[in-house]
């Protein structure tokens, strides 16, 4: 009963979480729309995503990173454990504006890793603790609520806040990868004029989804704080 009501509607859900979710959905729509638009336009140099990634790696002097194809849509990522950039079907072999932007961004992550970029180190260091927070935070809040044990609620909320902290540290990492990407795209003339601005739009839209994820976490945190700390 309590747990059922826990996730149900309450005034704080409407006040905080609903606007945050609407913002998040708007950002998802924006990134998909921008990606679709910029995937329909070929780039003048006929550079594929894979070729772009290699150009960016070369620019930053990274020699031990592989570029592979991965299935899915917008599933592109850099895997630091295997030092592999994985580019999705729409990016790997596509010579579009979106492909250049996204591939360069993932190569930007590889360059961060190779250069021991500090926010990445901080993020990796706090990752294990944040994983505990994401799996234990809310169960502890519920337990504390059922047992009327406020200390447990506070600990649960603090653990839950670690998720938001992780998402916060993710932001400079994402913005920096895009900055590195755009720097190479511009200085090496991979894209010019409207094409460059198009790639920048794709990367900005993608970054906004990370901002939205943080906003949703903060909204949930506020909601739980207002709802469960209020009884004091």
Nearest Cα to Cα of residue 28 among 229, 159, 211, 226? 211
Comparison of 174 and 202: residue with beta carbon closer to Zn ion: 174
Q: In angstroms, give the least distance from the CB of 206 to Zn ion.
A: 7
71/159 Cα distance (integer angstroms):
34
**Are 118 and 168 in contact, with CB atoms under 8 Å apart?**
no
Q: In angstroms, give the least distance from the CB of 19 to Zn ion.
A: 26
Comparison of 74 and 222: residue with beta carbon closer to Zn ion: 74
185/205 Cα distance (integer angstroms):
17
> Would you name the residues annotated as active-site residues?
106
Total residues binding Zn ion (CB under 5 A)? 2
Alpha helices (H) in 147-193, listed in sequence order:
150-187
Comparison of 79 and 150: residue with beta carbon closer to Zn ion: 79
Question: Percentage helix, strand, coil, to 5, in the chain?
Answer: 75, 5, 20
Q: In angstroms, give the least distance from the CB of 107 to Zn ion.
A: 10
Comparison of 152 and 174: residue with beta carbon closer to Zn ion: 174
Q: In Å, how far from its chain's centre is CA 99?
A: 18
Q: In angstroms, give the least distance from the CB of 145 to Zn ion.
A: 37
Stretch 148-177 residues interacting with Zn ion (CB under 5 A): 174, 177
Residues found near Zn ion in the complex (CB under 5 A): 174, 177
């Amino acid at each position: 009963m309590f747990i059922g009501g826990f996730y149900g509607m309450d005034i704080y859900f409407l006040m905080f979480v609903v606007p945050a979710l609407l913002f998040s959905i708007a950002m998802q729509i924006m990134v998909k729309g921008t990606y679709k638009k910029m995937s329909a336009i070929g780039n003048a140099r006929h550079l594929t995503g894979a070729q772009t990634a290699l150009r960016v790696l070369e620019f930053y002097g990274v020699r031990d990173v592989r570029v592979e194809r991965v299935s899915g849509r917008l599933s592109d990522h850099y895997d630091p454990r295997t030092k592999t950039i994985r580019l999705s079907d729409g990016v790997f072999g596509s010579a579009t504006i979106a492909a250049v932007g996204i591939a360069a961004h993932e190569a930007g992550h590889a360059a961060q890793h190779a250069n021991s970029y500090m926010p990445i180190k901080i993020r990796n260091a706090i990752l294990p603790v944040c994983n505990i927070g994401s799996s234990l935070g809310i169960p502890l809040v519920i337990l504390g609520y059922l047992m009327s044990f406020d200390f447990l609620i506070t600990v649960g909320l603090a653990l839950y806040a670690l998720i938001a902290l992780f998402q916060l540290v993710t932001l400079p990492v994402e913005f920096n990868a895009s900055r590195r990407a755009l720097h190479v795209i511009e200085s090496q003339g991979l894209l010019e004029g409207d094409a460059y601005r198009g790639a920048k739009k794709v990367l900005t839209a993608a970054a906004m989804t990370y901002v939205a994820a943080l906003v949703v976490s903060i909204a949930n945190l506020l909601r739980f704080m207002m709802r469960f700390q209020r009884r004091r």
